[in-house]
Structure formats: structure tokens, C-alpha cells
């Protein structure tokens, strides 16, 4: 491979190839499963598998350390979206306790070219993102919950992803690493 | 605070109302690689043999290929498909000596194979079957009926075998 291949920039792929591959995957799942709920679950599971590995890439690229608080985490998640999907969702709607916030997406490479047919209105098309976040946070000893509040595919103005801090996973620290 | 609902159905802005992007967007390779890995694992769990797995990947690739043709047509963009899709040109294009229908596209390191290590018991598996499916769909959609398969040879080689009719037509055009 040429030297240019080792540049950071060239570690990118055409987003349409990504979009369409994801679309083909979702379409295949819809064909294979009778129940839309099962498709949602499967997408989340796949996202989880991706998340537990993507976090390594994130840490390697950013060299970031532990988060001081959940606001810190929110910013890092935002950076993650920038690095991996090339988009910057806005962080909004903080809860008073500071343990819950929303990420709002104007555009999202996953949903480009996508229109949900009427029989798929229960499909959480982007559920893979939820899995990714859950997996990635779990690997840094954080349990979170997340869900979609609004979805552009369901005709909302933005796609809003709500993220809630559940607890620190103390037990997950490997022995001898404290 | 909720507004007064007048109609049960909200008017939907159709996807056709939006303008088509220029197609210059990029996502990180690790993201794509992990997604592809999930796709391969999913397919693997649903088949028994390596050829079946390759067929399944090619089938899904075909779906992607059809959509890419649509994009190419709507954008009226000729030029270098390979480069726009995979970020660089293929390493080599060869014409088979003994068969005028057959061409080989050679890539030392196919995008999808970059992070895939093939298990020993599945030696012949080449996940670039997915890419072969994409290429086949695009060729067929454009009126060049062909069969495209992926093989391990000098890296990954895609064997493009055109239908006799395509070759015959090409000759006719040349003769004119």
C-alpha cells in the first residue's frame, strides 16, 4: 500500500458506501425477522459490538483521559460523532441534576436516502447508535441508558437522542488496575 | 403544551423534496469496518458453508450496487467510480489472454479485507464478495450483463465475466 495510506485523512471511506451498506443490512434484517421489535433489538446488539471496539479507536486517537463529570462525557461523545461519522450533534436539554442530556442531529449519514414505509413505523432505524453508545460507555466503566425522543424519519424536525447516566461500573475494573 | 390536532395525519415531507447531496461526505474507516464485520457475522450465523456466505454477501452487495447506480444516474456523474467509492483506484486491470469476455480487476488490499483475518477452517472465504456484488449490480444496471466474483489472487482479484451478448455488441460497435 502507498505511504499516503497511513495518513489520518485517508482512513476514511465514502459515506454513501457506509449509508447504503447500513441500509442493506437493515433491509436484510427486516426480511429475516417477522417482528420489527426484534430488528430493533438486533440493531442495538450490533451497535453494542461495534461500540466496545470503537471506544478503543476513540481513546487511541484523542488520547483523552477520564471524564470529570457527565458534561465532560457529553462533549466526548460529541467529539466521537465528529471523528467517526463526521457530524456534530448539538448537546441540549440538560436535566437539573446534570445526569441526562439530549443530542440533536440535523443530518445523519445513517439516514440519508431513507424513508420509512408505513408498516415500519415502529422501526428504530438508527438503533445501532444506541448500542454503540452503550457499548462504548460500558468499556469505560459507565452504565448509561439512551433512547430516541424524536426522529426525523418519523417526521420530527430533528432527531433527538436522550442519554442518561445510570451508574459507575466499579466492579468492571480489572484486578490490579486501581 | 400541546397544540390542537386537526388532522390525524401529518403531512410528510417526502424524501424527494430534499435535494440530493453532492456525495462528498466521509465517515471513518473503523466505523465502516466494524459495521461490515457485523454484517459478515450476521450472515455467517445464517448459513452453513463458505460459498453460501459469499453468495449472501454478494446478494447484499447487489442491493447496494443498484442504489449506487441510481445515484450515478441522477447525478449524471461519469468518471471514476472506483475512486469515488473506495477512495483510490484499483491497482490493476487485466484482460484474460484466453478469453475475451473476462477481465480481472486486481486490488492488493481490498477495503473490506483490510481488517479481516480469515479463520483457518474457512481458507477460501473472501468477504470482498460483497464488493463483487456491488460491481456486478452496477454493470448489469448499466446494460453490461456480467458475472463478478472475488478471488484470492495477488491480493483480491475480481473476475468480471461479461455475457457473450455484451461482447458481441461491443464488436458490432467497433466495426461500424
Query: Which tens digit of pLDDT belongs to each residue from B127-165?
Result: 999 999 999 999 999 999 999 999 998 899 999 999 999
Q: How far is B79 from chain A (nearest CA, A)?
A: 16
Q: How far is B35 from chain A (nearest CA, A)?
A: 7
Q: Which of B27, B88, B111 comes nearest A85 by C-beta?
A: B27
Q: How far apart are CA A165 and CA A131, in angstroms?
A: 15
For chain A, what is the radius of gyration of the CA atoms?
17
Give me chain B's average pLDDT, please.
Answer: 87
Which residue is listed with cell 430516541? Answer: A148
Task: Locate A158 and state its grid cell.
Answer: 430533528
C-beta atoms of A16 and B36 within 8 A? no
Q: How far apart are CA B57 and CA B73, in angstroms?
A: 24
- Tens-digit pLDDT profile for residues B6-49: 666 555 667 777 777 777 789 999 999 999 999 999 999 999 99
Q: Which of B13, B60, B85 comes nearest A17 by C-beta?
A: B85
A13 vs B76, residue with greater confidence: A13
Q: Where are the domains of chain A?
A: 15-168
Is the dihedral angle over the CA atoms A153, A155, A158, A160 positive or is it negative?
Answer: negative
- Tens-digit pLDDT profile for residues A40-57: 999 999 999 999 999 999
- Is B54 a residue whose pLDDT tops 70? yes
**Number of domains making up chain B:** 1
The answer to the question of residue B141 being in a domain is: yes
Q: How far apart are CA B27 and CA A160, in angstroms?
A: 21
Q: Measuring CA to CA, which residue among A127, A138, A128, A129 is closest to residue A165?
A: A138
C-beta atoms of A84 and B21 within 8 A? no
Q: How far apart are CA A132 and CA A48, in angstroms?
A: 5
- Substitution target in B33, B38, B71 with the highest count of A β-carbons within 10 Å is B38
Report how many helices (DSSP H) and strands (DSSP E) chain B contains, helices first.
5, 5
Count Cα neighbours of B113 within 13 Å in the Cβ-side half-sphere. Answer: 21
Query: In whole angstroms, what separates CA A90 from the centre of its chain?
Result: 14
**For range B59-79, the mean pLDDT:** 86
Q: How far apart are CA A40 and CA A174, in angstroms?
A: 32
User: What pLDDT is recorded for position B30?
Assistant: 93
**For range B105-125, the mean pLDDT:** 86
- Eight-class DSSP state of B105: E
| Domain that residue B105 falls in | 29-175
- Tens-digit pLDDT profile for residues A64-99: 888 999 999 999 999 999 999 999 999 999 999 999
pTM of the full structure: 0.87
Q: How far is B118 from chain A (nearest CA, A)?
A: 19
Question: pLDDT category, B78, cuts 50, 70, 90?
Answer: low
Q: Which of A2, A20, A49 comes nearest B68 by C-beta?
A: A20
CATH code of the domain in which B100 resides: 3.30.1380.20
The answer to the question of residue B69 being in a domain is: yes
User: What pLDDT is recorded for position B121?
Assistant: 82
**For range A121-148, the mean pLDDT:** 95
Q: How far is A86 from chain B (nearest CA, A)?
A: 6
Q: Which residues of A fall within a CB distance of 8 Å from B68?
A: 16-17, 20
The ipTM, to two decimals, is: 0.87
The answer to the question of residue B7 being in a domain is: no
- Tens-digit pLDDT profile for residues A143-162: 999 999 999 999 898 999 99
Q: Which residues of B fall within a CB distance of 8 Å from A42?
A: 42
Q: Which of A11, A114, A128 comes nearest B28 by C-beta?
A: A11
- Cβ proximity of A10 and B87 under 8 Å: yes
Q: Which long-range contacts (CB under 8 A, 24 or more apart) does B138-147 make?
A: B138/B65, B138/B68, B138/B69, B138/B72, B138/B81, B141/B65, B141/B66, B141/B69, B142/B69
- Tens-digit pLDDT profile for residues B101-113: 999 999 998 888 8
The CATH number of A15-168, from 3.10.20.30, 3.40.718.10, 3.30.1380.20, 3.90.198.10, is 3.30.1380.20
C-beta atoms of A17 and B64 within 8 A? yes
- First-to-last alpha carbon distance for chain B, in angstroms, is 73
Q: In chain A, whose CA is at the least distance from the CA of B85?
A: A14
| Phi then psi dihedrals of residue A12, to 5 deg | -125, 155
Q: Which of B35, B46, B71 comes nearest A18 by C-beta?
A: B35
Amino acid at each position: 500500500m502507498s505511504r499516503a495510506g497511513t495518513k489520518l485523512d485517508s482512513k476514511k471511506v465514502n459515506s454513501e458506501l457506509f449509508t447504503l451498506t447500513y441500509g442493506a443490512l437493515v433491509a436484510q434484517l427486516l426480511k429475516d425477522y417477522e417482528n420489527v421489535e426484534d430488528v430493533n433489538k438486533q440493531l442495538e446488539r450490533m451497535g453494542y459490538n461495534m461500540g466496545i471496539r470503537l471506544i478503543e479507536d476513540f481513546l487511541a486517537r484523542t488520547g483523552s483521559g477520564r471524564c470529570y463529570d457527565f458534561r465532560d462525557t457529553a462533549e466526548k461523545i460529541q467529539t466521537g460523532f465528529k471523528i467517526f461519522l463526521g457530524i456534530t450533534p448539538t448537546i441540549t436539554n440538560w436535566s437539573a441534576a446534570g445526569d441526562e442530556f439530549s443530542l440533536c442531529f440535523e443530518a445523519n449519514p445513517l439516514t440519508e436516502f431513507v424513508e420509512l414505509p408505513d408498516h415500519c413505523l415502529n422501526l428504530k432505524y438508527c438503533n445501532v447508535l444506541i448500542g454503540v453508545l452503550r457499548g462504548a460507555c460500558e468499556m469505560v466503566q459507565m452504565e448509561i441508558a439512551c433512547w430516541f425522543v424524536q426522529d426525523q424519519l418519523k417526521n420530527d424536525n430533528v432527531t433527538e437522542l436522550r442519554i442518561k447516566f445510570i451508574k459507575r461500573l466499579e466492579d468492571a475494573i480489572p484486578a490490579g488496575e486501581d | 403544551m400541546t397544540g390542537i390536532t386537526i388532522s390525524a395525519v401529518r403531512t410528510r415531507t417526502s424524501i424527494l423534496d430534499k435535494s440530493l447531496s453532492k456525495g462528498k461526505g466521509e465517515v471513518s474507516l473503523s466505523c465502516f469496518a466494524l459495521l461490515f464485520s457485523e454484517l459478515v457475522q450476521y450472515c455467517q450465523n445464517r448459513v452453513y458453508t463458505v460459498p453460501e456466505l459469499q453468495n449472501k454477501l454478494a446478494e447484499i452487495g447487489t442491493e447496494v450496487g443498484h442504489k449506487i447506480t441510481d445515484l450515478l444516474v441522477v447525478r449524471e456523474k461519469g468518471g471514476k467510480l472506483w475512486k469515488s467509492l473506495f477512495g483510490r483506484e484499483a491497482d490493476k486491470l487485466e484482460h484474460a489472454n484466453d478469453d475475451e469476455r473476462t477481465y480481472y480487476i486486481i486490488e492488493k488490499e481490498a477495503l473490506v479485507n483490510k481488517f479481516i483475518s480469515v479463520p483457518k477452517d474457512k481458507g477460501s472465504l473472501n468477504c470482498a464478495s460483497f464488493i463483487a456484488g456491488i460491481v456486478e449490480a452496477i454493470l448489469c444496471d448499466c446494460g453490461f450483463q456480467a458475472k463478478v466474483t472475488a478471488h484470492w489472487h495477488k491480493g483480491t482479484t475480481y473476475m468480471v465475466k461479461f455475457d457473450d451478448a455484451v461482447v458481441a455488441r461491443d464488436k458490432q460497435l467497433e466495426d461500424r
